[in-house]
Amino acid sequence: MEDGVVLTMRGISMTFPGVKALDNVDFTLRKGEIHALMGENGAGKSTLIKCLTGINDFEAGEIHVDGVEGPVKNHSTSDAQKVGVSTVYQEVNLCPNLSVAENLYIGREPLTPMHTIDRRAMNRKAKELTERLKINVDVTQNLENYSLAIQQMIAIARAVDMECKVLILDEPTSSLDDSEVEKLFGMMRDLKAQGVGIIFVTHFLEQVYAVCDRITVLRNGQLVGEYPIAELPRVKLVAAMMGKDFDDLAEIKPEGFEAHADAPVVIDAKGLSHKGTIKPFDLVLHKGEVIGLTGLLGSGRSELARTIYGADKAQTGTLKVKGEEVKISHPIGAIHLGMGLLPDDRKAEGIIGDLSVRENIILALQARQGMFKQMSRAKQEELADKYIDILQIKTASKETPVSQLSGGNQQKVILARWLATDPDFLILDEPTRGIDVGTKTEIQKLIIQLAGEGKSIMFISSEIEEMLRTCNRMAVLRDGAKVGELDGDLTQERVMAAIAGGADNG
Amino acid sequence: MTSTTEKPAGALKERRQMNGNTVLLLITIILFFVLYAAGCAVYAGKGFATVQTFLNILRSKAGLLCVTCGMTCVMLTGGIDISVGSLVAMDCMLLSYGMANWGLSAPVMCLMVLGIGVLFGLFQGYCVGYLNIQPFIVTMAGMFFARGMTAVISTDQLSITADINQTFYNWANYRIYLPFGGTLNRKGVMIMPYFGIGVVISLVVLVVIFLMLRYTKFGRSLYAVGGSEQSAAMMGLNVKKTKLKAYLLSSFLCSIGGICYCMNTMSASVSQATGLEMDAIASSVIGGTLLTGGVGNVIGSFFGVLINGTISTIVQTNGKLASSWPNILTAALLCFFIVLQSIFALIRERKK
């Protein structure tokens, strides 16, 4: 093995039923570098990582890890950890019912001479580790008492503490806010200085350019190339990922998209609230309008939407839908009123993994019709085909279980589910999280197109840029309350100032 | 927290919450004392308020306690083992029949019973852990099998008497006296409260399992697997092996429990220990173990068993109540605890 290289993967190939997931892919990781692994959905990033960590069984190729004789073939995550490969995933893979300290040390607990767990030593070590990484937690408390962001940081702390040579961070920043992301980057730079090789998988282009030294791009299971960061400006990176010239992201709003004040009112909320999640708010939404909800993580964006939708029952206030006062206590009521909600946690709240693409798509429509008026098979297939085509869902067939699809394509399936009900009012909560730039743009265009067809859309996203590109108007939230609205000329500066609580939030 | 600088938002607020599961355990313990005190108050005249009555609960429930310890371990992984009642019946039958008809000595028969428990658990554990079959189905098959085998061994009502096996008889009737808490009998002789070997065995099992759950890697893996199987696997734990061991442990403890049970009843029949698995599950749940896994401990289960024993003792002492009352009371308690558990889960969800 060359000097300074901690990991080489050569000629890795792997097939899933009907799809060639990886085709002769090479990957090299050097000591003390942060190496971004980029690609669109279904490009094979996750599959490549899983081959390395032993979750997938690759068919051809060789993996070499520094300090290990001969080719490495891991059969489980613990095998991978033994050769110094640790992973932190997008979804927090810890046990909520155990204490923070146990989550950090389970499987490798400090033992007393009698081979029992030395809880005191474990808690002390955990305290030292969390303090060193500046995570402010009580290590004896159960993990479930802490927010998702902190759980994610504990997961990283666990991986960091494992004396690893190769640290894989698979979309670790998706659920973190800016200051937490910065803290994570600090952690990554420290580790880099210690000589750890880091593989960083993310969809946030800015983050790649903020921390990475090198980029490897995959497309459709094949290697596009490996580039030092300085030689690959953003536009070229996107082109390499998409394999075509990059569709300009900046201007997708058509002219005259702003004027909606005289259109009929679709949603009129007055003083709506849900105890503990969102304080009373007023909100008016016109036909054909896209309203963005912006604010920091945990500011109440999703909660506001959930209250209108009836997922959290509103405890005060009145809600008028198309001029008529309604009470929604369950989502099914909202569905009957022509609403749809695309939840932010698509694994837990949206996708039913064992059902096929077709079944997932017709689900909401079927629910609205009632379970006794079953749609004909032909009608179901027609709908499925239509939306697979419109949204370009990449799937082996419409009968493939959704769990086999990549994250972005699962997201498209849920989107298709709500489009199939032909809603008047659609709430999209982080519809572009964790999916690639190309699909993001497609979804943004689709939003504008839907608005053009007279649908009203509520769009929630952590990325201000994409909201600026798609929204007519933005509502700003802070600490569980709606603090203002912005319209007219939306700029990043104005939005930022409003979120931060500046003067311009009226 | 001396050297830390900035604090992540919300971290402080979330610290030092009263753990809902600790509250549940406390409620179970308090409930036991309330029930027991009520029994003492109402039936003091019938001899309820003696140390011996309490020890009798332990004596009659020694087998159940061992079985419940095993059940709790299985339930911690999110599984269930409904074969235990039948396995106890089979153990009793094997002990009685073996000692009477094969002339084998008591230690040999006990070892055989324990060995069968291990094999039984290995098979069930393999099916659940490695073949990934639903634990309910696997142990239901185990339940029918053990009950059936009990009848295959013998369909008679067997008793173990001193003539059949002196050693086992002596074990069963060996009395360990407490140096205090005695009562005067009708003749005016002071009778000291006593307990038997079964109580000692079951309490040793309880302590060992308590320490095992808290201080060993295997014990913590049970919690991890119950908390999130996928996460446990991702953290490098061997989920399949952990599950196999859990069912193995359950059947093994169940066999120990079977021996204790047999020492208490000194008899065997096909219909013995019917519904014991449900008592074990109910005791675990009342003790704060969640059916979904990951939460619970054997101290709670111990009090669950004590509550079960107290209820039946109260009903027996009363003498006029129908024998169905323990079931009804247990049902009410189960309801109470399930509702409490959901309320605590809801509160935790709110606080997030």
How far, in whole angstroms, is CA A177 from its chain's centroid?
Answer: 13
Q: Are B123 and B116 in contact (CB under 8 A)?
A: no
Residue B3 binned pLDDT confidence (cut-offs 50, 70, 90): very low
Hey, CA dihedral for A287, A290, A293, A294, is it positive or negative? Answer: negative
pLDDT of the residue at A393: 83
Determine the Cα–Cα distance for residues B333 and A111; give it in Å rounded to an integer: 40
Burial category of A370 from C-beta neighbours within 10 Å (exposed 0-12, middle 13-18, buried 19 and up): exposed
Average pLDDT estimate for B260-271: 91
Q: Are B47 and A172 in contact (CB under 8 A)?
A: no
> Which residues in A lie closer than 8 A to residue B5 (C-beta atoms)?
134
Answer yes or no: is pLDDT of A277 > 80.
Answer: no
Average pLDDT estimate for A280-292: 87
pLDDT of the residue at B2: 39
Q: Find, among A88, A84, A51, A109, the residue nearest to A165 by Cα.
A: A84
Determine the Cα–Cα distance for residues A219 and A238; give it in Å rounded to an integer: 11
Contact A147 B234 (CB under 8 A): no
Query: Which ranges of A194-291 would DSSP assign to H, the alpha helix?
Result: 205-211, 234-242
Answer yes or no: is pLDDT of B162 > 90.
Answer: no
Query: Which ranges of A213-264 would DSSP assign to H, the alpha helix?
Result: 234-242
Determine the Cα–Cα distance for residues B27 and B12; give it in Å rounded to an integer: 28
Determine the Cα–Cα distance for residues A115 and A344; give it in Å rounded to an integer: 44
pLDDT of the residue at B352: 55
Answer yes or no: is pLDDT of B272 > 80.
Answer: yes
How many Å is the Cα radius of gyration of chain B? Answer: 22
User: A407 CB contacts (<8 Å, ≥6 apart)?
Assistant: A41, A346, A434, A435
- For B89, the enclosing helix (H) or strand (E) is helix B84-97
Answer yes or no: is pLDDT of A239 > 80.
Answer: no
Q: Are A194 and A132 in contact (CB under 8 A)?
A: no
pLDDT of the residue at A249: 47
Per the prediction, chain B carries an average pLDDT of 87
- Hey, is the C-beta of A119 within 8 angstroms of any chain B C-beta? yes
Q: Measured between alpha carbons, how far apart are the two ends of chain A, in Å?
A: 62
Per the prediction, chain A carries an average pLDDT of 81
Q: Find, among A410, A429, A396, the residue nearest to A308 by Cα.
A: A429
Residue of B nearest to A102 (CA): B220
Residue of B nearest to A117 (CA): B215
- For A227, the enclosing helix (H) or strand (E) is strand A222-228
Answer yes or no: is pLDDT of B6 > 70.
Answer: no
Average pLDDT estimate for B317-328: 82
> Which residues in B lie closer than 8 A to residue A147 (C-beta atoms)?
10-11, 14, 352
| Residue A296: φ, ψ to 5° | -75, 170
The 10s digit of each residue's pLDDT in B206-260 is: 999 999 999 999 999 999 999 888 888 878 788 999 999 999 999 999 999 999 9
Average pLDDT estimate for A221-234: 87
Residue with more model confidence, A206 or B279: B279
pLDDT of the residue at B9: 40
Q: How far is A289 from chain B (nearest CA, A)?
A: 32
Neighbours of A7 (CB within 10 A): 26
B227 to A144, B233, B291: CA distances (angstroms): 10, 11, 11
Average pLDDT estimate for A459-469: 80
Residue B16 binned pLDDT confidence (cut-offs 50, 70, 90): very low
HSE (CB half, 13 Å, CA atoms) of B182?
11
User: What share of chain A has pLDDT > 90, as a percent?
Assistant: 7
CB-closest option in B231, B236, B350 to A94: B231
Contact A141 B17 (CB under 8 A): yes
Residue B91 binned pLDDT confidence (cut-offs 50, 70, 90): very high
Q: Tell me which residue has tokens 């295997």.
A: B218
Determine the Cα–Cα distance for residues A407 and A162; give it in Å rounded to an integer: 28
Q: Provide the token pair at A290.
A: 């896209």
Q: Are A495 and A294 in contact (CB under 8 A)?
A: yes
CB-closest option in B17, B211, B232 to A145: B17
> Which residues in A lie closer than 8 A to residue B16 (C-beta atoms)?
138, 141
Mean pLDDT is lowest, of A126-135, A204-213, A368-377, B133-142, for: A368-377
Contact A145 B14 (CB under 8 A): yes
Residue with more model confidence, A225 or B348: A225
* CA angle at B318 for the pair B317 and B321, rounded to the nearest 5°: 125
- Hey, is the C-beta of A180 within 8 angstroms of any chain B C-beta? yes
B123 to A134, B130, B234, B280: CA distances (angstroms): 48, 10, 26, 21
Q: Are B5 and A179 in contact (CB under 8 A)?
A: no
User: B294 CB contacts (<8 Å, ≥6 apart)?
Assistant: A95, A96, A97, B76, B78, B223, B224, B226, B227, B228
pLDDT of the residue at B330: 86
Determine the Cα–Cα distance for residues B231 and A501; give it in Å rounded to an integer: 39
Q: For CATH 3.40.50.300, list the domain ranges present in chain A.
A: 5-242, 288-304+329-500
Q: Which of A55, A56, A98, A128 to mutate to test the interface with B (most CBs of B within 10 A)?
A: A98
Q: Are B32 and B310 in contact (CB under 8 A)?
A: yes
Residue B281 binned pLDDT confidence (cut-offs 50, 70, 90): very high
pLDDT of the residue at A216: 92
Surface of A (61-100) touching B: CB under 8 A: 76-78, 81, 87, 89, 92-98
Answer yes or no: is pLDDT of A255 > 70.
Answer: no
Q: Where is mean pLDDT largest: A30-34, A173-177, B5-9, B243-247?
A: B243-247
Using DSSP's 3-state secondary structure scheme, residue A19 falls into strand
Instruction: Name residue A5's beta-bridge partners.
Output: A30
pLDDT of the residue at A251: 53
pTM for this model (two decimals): 0.69
The 10s digit of each residue's pLDDT in A116-157 is: 888 899 999 999 888 877 778 888 888 888 877 788 778 888
Average pLDDT estimate for A373-397: 83
pLDDT of the residue at A248: 46
Residue B144 binned pLDDT confidence (cut-offs 50, 70, 90): very high
Neighbours of B257 (CB within 10 A): 33
CB-closest option in B211, B217, B231 to A95: B231
Instruction: Name residue A339's beta-bridge partners.
Output: A425
Answer yes or no: is pLDDT of A87 > 50.
Answer: yes
User: What share of chain A has pLDDT > 70, as a percent?
Assistant: 91
The 10s digit of each residue's pLDDT in A47-83 is: 898 888 888 888 888 898 888 877 888 887 778 888 8
Q: Find, among B337, B339, B36, B48, the residue nearest to B183 by Cα.
A: B48
Residue of A nearest to B229 (CA): A95
Q: Strand pairing of A60-65 and A34-38?
A: unpaired
Residue B17 binned pLDDT confidence (cut-offs 50, 70, 90): very low
pLDDT of the residue at A29: 92
Q: Are B224 and B232 in contact (CB under 8 A)?
A: yes
Encoded amino acid at A104, one letter: L
pLDDT of the residue at A245: 45
Residue A232 binned pLDDT confidence (cut-offs 50, 70, 90): confident
Residue A414 binned pLDDT confidence (cut-offs 50, 70, 90): confident
> Which residues in B lie closer than 8 A to residue A138 (C-beta atoms)?
15-16
Residue A367 binned pLDDT confidence (cut-offs 50, 70, 90): confident
DSSP string covering A278-317: EEEEEEEEETT-EEEEE-STTSSHHHHHHHHHTSS---EE
Average pLDDT estimate for B77-101: 93
Q: Where is mean pLDDT largest: A32-46, A389-403, B149-163?
A: B149-163
Instruction: Name residue A427's beta-bridge partners.
Output: A341, A458
pLDDT of the residue at A349: 65
Contact A149 B8 (CB under 8 A): yes
Q: Which of B215, B237, B347 to mutate to test the interface with A (most CBs of A within 10 A)?
A: B215
Encoded amino acid at A275, one letter: K
- Hey, is the C-beta of A148 within 8 angstroms of any chain B C-beta? no
Residue with more model confidence, B29 or A438: B29
Determine the Cα–Cα distance for residues B137 and A96; give it in Å rounded to an integer: 28
Residue with more model confidence, A58 or B85: B85
Contact B226 A97 (CB under 8 A): yes
Residue of B nearest to A119 (CA): B215
Residue A177 binned pLDDT confidence (cut-offs 50, 70, 90): confident
Answer yes or no: is pLDDT of A500 > 70.
Answer: no
Q: Find, among A456, A452, A486, A419, the residue nearest to A265 by Cα.
A: A456
Q: Are A26 and A7 in contact (CB under 8 A)?
A: no
Q: How far is A373 from chain B (nearest CA, A)?
A: 33
pLDDT of the residue at B7: 40
The 10s digit of each residue's pLDDT in A388-407 is: 887 878 888 888 888 888 77
Q: Tell me which residue has tokens 């009371």.
A: B329
User: B16 CB contacts (<8 Å, ≥6 apart)?
Assistant: A138, A141
Determine the Cα–Cα distance for residues B305 and B333; give it in Å rounded to an integer: 12
Q: Provide the token pair at B138.
A: 């696997």
Neighbours of A436 (CB within 10 A): 23
Determine the Cα–Cα distance for residues B180 and B272; give it in Å rounded to an integer: 35
| Residue A285: φ, ψ to 5° | -130, 125
**Domain A5-242 carries which CATH code?**
3.40.50.300
Using DSSP's 3-state secondary structure scheme, residue B145 falls into helix
Q: What's the length of chain A?
A: 506
pLDDT of the residue at B137: 95
Residue A442 binned pLDDT confidence (cut-offs 50, 70, 90): confident
Contact B234 A150 (CB under 8 A): no
Determine the Cα–Cα distance for residues B150 and B146; give it in Å rounded to an integer: 6
Residue B13 binned pLDDT confidence (cut-offs 50, 70, 90): very low
Q: Are A110 and A121 in contact (CB under 8 A)?
A: yes
Hey, CA dihedral for A389, A391, A394, A397, is it positive or negative? Answer: negative
Encoded amino acid at A378, one letter: A
Contact A76 B9 (CB under 8 A): no
pLDDT of the residue at B280: 94
Q: Which of A106, A138, A183 to mutate to test the interface with B (most CBs of B within 10 A)?
A: A106
Q: Which of A136, A142, A275, A347 to mutate to test the interface with B (most CBs of B within 10 A)?
A: A136
The 10s digit of each residue's pLDDT in A294-344 is: 877 667 888 888 888 888 888 888 888 888 888 888 888 888 888 888 877
**Domain A288-304+329-500 carries which CATH code?**
3.40.50.300
Determine the Cα–Cα distance for residues A151 and A142; give it in Å rounded to an integer: 11
- Hey, is the C-beta of A107 within 8 angstroms of any chain B C-beta? yes
Q: Find, among A286, A288, A289, A290, the residue nearest to A265 by Cα.
A: A286
